[in-house]
Structure 1
Amino acid sequence: MFLMDLQERNERLFYKLMIDNVEELLPVVYTPTVGEACQKYGSIFRRSQGLYISLKDKGRVLEVLRNWPEKSIQVIVVTDGERILGLGDLGCQGMGIPVGKLALYTALGGVRPSACLPITIDVGTNNEELLNDEFYIGLRQKRATGQEYTELLDEFMVAVKQNYGQKVLVQFEDFANHNAFTLLEKYKATHLVFNDDIQSKTSQEEGLIVSSRKDSIQPFKKLYAHEHEPVKDLLSAIKRPIILALSNPTSKSECTAEQAYSWSQVGRAIFGSGSPFDPVKYNDKLFVPAQANNAYIFPGFGLGVVTSGAIRVKDDMVLAAAEALAEQVTAEHFDKGLIYPPFSSIRKISANIAARVAVKAYDLGLASHLPRPKDLVKYAESCMYSPIYRSYR
């Protein structure tokens, strides 16, 4: 609450504080604290930090968008609040996620704060506790589905493009799977959209989904099915102890770092989690758990898309961002048990990710910022918003 008040009162100071203390403040602005903030959003609500579009706005969504004071928007993070982290349906109170993510687009990726717009689509909630909560800020009705839902989202996507042009980046965030895949598939050919929860390198690699399961798995998983005899024994299915306990917030994590290191005998596991865990001392050795956090990716990805003037997002661009991150892990990091570079260098990491994303956009003929800059890393750095204070002495 203090940080959000500071952001409202003195934006430059807020981002200066964030950038200078990123490792300490990331867990406050983002997971795990943002999860608790969303759960309590109604009771801590002071003023709207984003734009709410509800079912009652159907037919005039463009008019609502035009009420937002900033006219030059480059990045929108939008949710309908149905699957907030691992906490489930939080309805309108999911606004904390777009607000927090866009703060990171600026602090970690250097996208101008005035160019960022958090949006929550309010179609109701199936969370009975919220529906009976006197402080709930959203529509008090069950979630709209089917045609009513589809028509509102259609109107929203058309209005976004009409109001901000085809180069506004729309990140779909924390939609339930049954809508997330549908929305991405529906709009990726006509809008600049992505969803960092469901686009990843798995599309190019084989996993544990075998062809014989095709009749029983969800449609979006069928793409990853491959020919292999079913493996019923978990120990036979995994060949090395890499444990990624990714569910957020910390309370929803599949196991703790301490459990991973102790259960894998003498700390053999390589561990990554969605929310941060403290270092663990085991057998007189200190293990530093990795945070497999998408905050490493989306700020730099957004910067690369914006600075290249990309008109579409392709999976290869998301993959380029992931590869750029992987290449910044040094032998020194591996020696310490880290599988990601430290967040203290995140602005440098983001500039390199932005450059790689931009390279891919230019190579695919999707970039509209011409001529192509000679040094894309330096160009990305030059475009980054920096909350600088003048020195008067």
Structure 2
Amino acid sequence: MSTSNNKEEAQGWNLLKLPSRSASITTSKEDRERLRMRGLLPAGQVTMEAAVEALMEQIRDKSTDLERYILLHSIQDGCEKIYFAALMKYTKELMPIVYTPTVGQACLDWHRIYRHTPRGLYLSLEDIGHVKEALQNWPEKNIKVIVVTDGERILGLGDLGVNGMGIPVGKLALYTGKFPCAGIDPAYCLPVQLDVGTNNEALRNQPTYMGLRRQRERGPSYDQLVKEFIEAAKEEYGSSVLIQFEDFGNKNAFRLLETYSQNTCCFNDDIQGTAAVALAGLIASKKLTKRELEDETFLFFGAGEAGTGIAELVASYIAEKTSKSKTQAREKIWLFDSQGLITSQRAGDLAHHKKPFAHDFSGSSAPSSLAEAISLLRPTGLIGASAMPKVFNEEVCRKMGEINERPIIFSLSNPTSKAECTAQEAYTWTEGRCVYSSGSPMQGLTINGRDLIPGQGNNAFIFPGLGLAALAAGAKRIDEECLLIAARVLASNVDQASLDKGTIYPPVSKIRQVSTSIACEVANYMFDKGLATKEKPKDLGTYVQKLMFDPN
């Protein structure tokens, strides 16, 4: 298999076996001759359009989304250009197959649907001391973006060990192509799974489970593997290679981000990407609620990576907008976890990421139920990031509607089966008055003749644009202001027609346009603030466009 950076040097059989080079039945006869492919393909050339339509016909014939996922990724394994051309043309139809919610089921079944094709690197505890060697075994050498997981907290599904590889694969599909993403060449993208064991005993005992059959490592060996991986990645691919942490457990997610964010171009999508997309939704919701964010009172149900990440970024936005301190900005943001409302009385027993939101509570005892907390705190916004399905029940939603004319209700947990409530439930129980957002696609509802269409707070609106900005600037690191910029740009792309239907995010069809806008604004900031290693181009917009991959 060719290991060259030059696409023209991969030839013949090796070209057919290297998906990112994407030779296929769509390859022109001239290119077939030049690339020494005589006899390796049928004589006739099929147009890309015809190949895509044939693929879509097969997809629509499948009876389940998991079958559609397997077919799509079998095509990706063989010819990425056809795969991405299909995603570009049929974004709205295929995005839920490629990522949420279908990717959750794919991860649960990864050991059963494994296609025996190399799709990313698996680095285990047994590779300590040899991680650089493993990276060198990957055929593509000009890697720009890495998405890495240790499989501990896959969506709301928990510890799936090496089955978590479906997440980096799916995330990088959203980075690539001309479709809902940043248009980064797939040859620049590398999915990585860190295999440190799994505490999911039932999965571990499956005969076809492919990971280490041991409990999850919690000690020094874990940190050694992560450190060696990051150092080797920077050495192999350059100090500006973007490393995106994905679906790490709380115990590691915050500390790894804190450890590496100052000297590595990295970010955690569950903490920071989710925060930026949720903040964008809140900024856009002002046009419906007629309230400023600094006047809202927020109650978060769920105080893990997503919940505290959103809360911190909202506090930063309010502090920047009002010139308040961040401590002051946090005063109207409350968190509710598995033990109840987080208050100063619990501060001694709290994880460090929760402590900034441990406020004094004036009542004789803190509320232990969500409904009681709503009655006492009277929040204007309720944000779910708990992976606890149906916890926003009728009582909860009706209380929010009684307190507020336009309550904000965000049910952000993924996949759909873990959502705190559906859009139809929230709209029904608030008589269509709530401003609703979900983490997975949801069906809308017609109330009193008005069509209500929920917006999906999909991280794909944020992280591909950040990645493209980092690539354009050769970023040294990604700071909080990058996330605030991304959120503001996303919110500014919501048009009045969408708002009239209660939708606080742009349509998926605009996601590439949004990503490009985010990339330009964030890259401009990186250049101006000394976070870039490249020289700022005269026409940043044109430069960013030229970086984008076109599968046609």
Q: In 2, distance between residues paired with 1:330 and 1:360?
A: 25
Aligned-residue RMSD, C-alpha: 1.6
Q: Shift of the alpha carbon at 1:73?
A: 0.4
2:509 paired residue among 326, 341, 344: 344
Q: In 1, distance between residues paired with 2:167 and 2:344?
A: 36
Q: Which amino acid aligns with 2:204?
A: L
Aligned to 1:147: 220
Percent identity at matched positions?
49
Q: In 2, distance between residues paired with 1:106 and 1:155?
A: 27
Structure 1 window deviating more from structure 2 (379-388 vs 20-29): it is 379-388
Q: Shift of the alpha carbon at 1:227?
A: 6.3
Q: In 1, distance between residues paired with 2:378 and 2:250?
A: 25
Q: In 2, distance between residues paired with 1:289 and 1:375?
A: 37
Aligned to 2:195: 122
Contact kept? 1:203, 1:224, Cα under 8 Å: no
2:136 paired residue among 66, 72, 76: 66
TM-score (norm 2): 0.68
Aligned to 2:411: 245
Does the residue aligned with 1:81 lie in a helix, a strand or coil?
A: coil
Q: In 1, distance between residues paired with 2:263 and 2:208?
A: 38
Q: Which amino acid aligns with 2:537?
A: P
Q: In 2, distance between residues paired with 1:282 and 1:33?
A: 29
1:16 paired residue among 74, 85, 100: 85
Contact kept? 2:427, 2:434, Cα under 8 Å: yes
Does the residue aligned with 1:140 lie in a helix, a strand or coil?
A: coil
Q: In 1, distance between residues paired with 2:210 and 2:166?
A: 13
1:366 paired residue among 531, 535, 538: 531
Q: Shift of the alpha carbon at 1:364?
A: 1.6
Q: Which amino acid aligns with 1:256?
A: T
Structure 2 unaligned spans of 5+: 1-69, 276-312, 317-328, 336-342, 368-372, 381-403
Q: In 2, distance between residues paired with 1:327 and 1:20?
A: 25
Q: Which amino acid aligns with 1:57?
A: D
How many residue pairs match? The answer is 386
1:57 paired residue among 105, 121, 127: 127
The answer to whether structure 1 residue 133 and structure 2 residue 206 are counterparts is: yes
Contact kept? 2:411, 2:420, Cα under 8 Å: yes
Aligned to 1:321: 486
Aligned to 1:332: 497
Contact kept? 2:472, 2:544, Cα under 8 Å: yes
Q: Which runs of structure 2 are paired with 1:238-277 in the superposition (5 Å)? A: 238-239=379-380, 240=404, 241-264=407-430, 266-277=431-442
Q: Shift of the alpha carbon at 1:387?
A: 1.3
Aligned to 1:354: 519
1:208 paired residue among 331, 334, 353: 334
Q: In 2, distance between residues paired with 1:216 and 1:143?
A: 24
Q: Shift of the alpha carbon at 1:222?
A: 2.2
Q: Which amino acid aligns with 1:244?
A: F
Q: In 2, distance between residues paired with 1:8 and 1:254?
A: 35
2:374 paired residue among 234, 237, 246: 234
Aligned to 1:182: 255
Q: Which amino acid aligns with 1:136?
A: Y
Q: Shift of the alpha carbon at 1:228?
A: 6.7
Aligned to 1:391: none
1:169-228 deviations in Å (ceiling 9; x for gaps): 000000001100010000112211101211232351421155454323210122345567
2:476 paired residue among 286, 311, 330: 311
Does the residue aligned with 1:42 lie in a helix, a strand or coil?
A: helix
Contact kept? 1:122, 1:138, Cα under 8 Å: yes
Q: Shift of the alpha carbon at 1:282?
A: 2.7
Q: In 1, distance between residues paired with 2:514 and 2:112?
A: 37
Q: Which amino acid aligns with 1:223?
A: P
Structure 1 unaligned spans of 5+: 389-393
Does the residue aligned with 2:221 lie in a helix, a strand or coil?
A: helix
Q: In 2, distance between residues paired with 1:381 and 1:216?
A: 50
Q: In 2, distance between residues paired with 1:375 and 1:23?
A: 31
Q: Which amino acid aligns with 1:379?
A: Y
Contact kept? 2:242, 2:467, Cα under 8 Å: yes
Aligned to 2:76: 7
Q: In 1, distance between residues paired with 2:211 and 2:194?
A: 10
Q: In 1, distance between residues paired with 2:131 and 2:347?
A: 40
Q: Shift of the alpha carbon at 1:374?
A: 3.5
Q: Shift of the alpha carbon at 1:59?
A: 1.0
Q: Which amino acid aligns with 1:25?
A: L
Q: In 1, distance between residues paired with 2:190 and 2:168?
A: 8
Contact kept? 1:172, 1:194, Cα under 8 Å: yes
1:164 paired residue among 237, 258, 262: 237
Q: In 2, distance between residues paired with 1:225 and 1:105?
A: 37
Structure 1 window deviating more from structure 2 (183-192 vs 213-222): it is 213-222
Does the residue aligned with 1:208 lie in a helix, a strand or coil?
A: strand
TM-score (norm 1): 0.94
Aligned to 1:196: 269
2:356 paired residue among 223, 228, 251: 223
| Larger Cα-atom Rg | 2
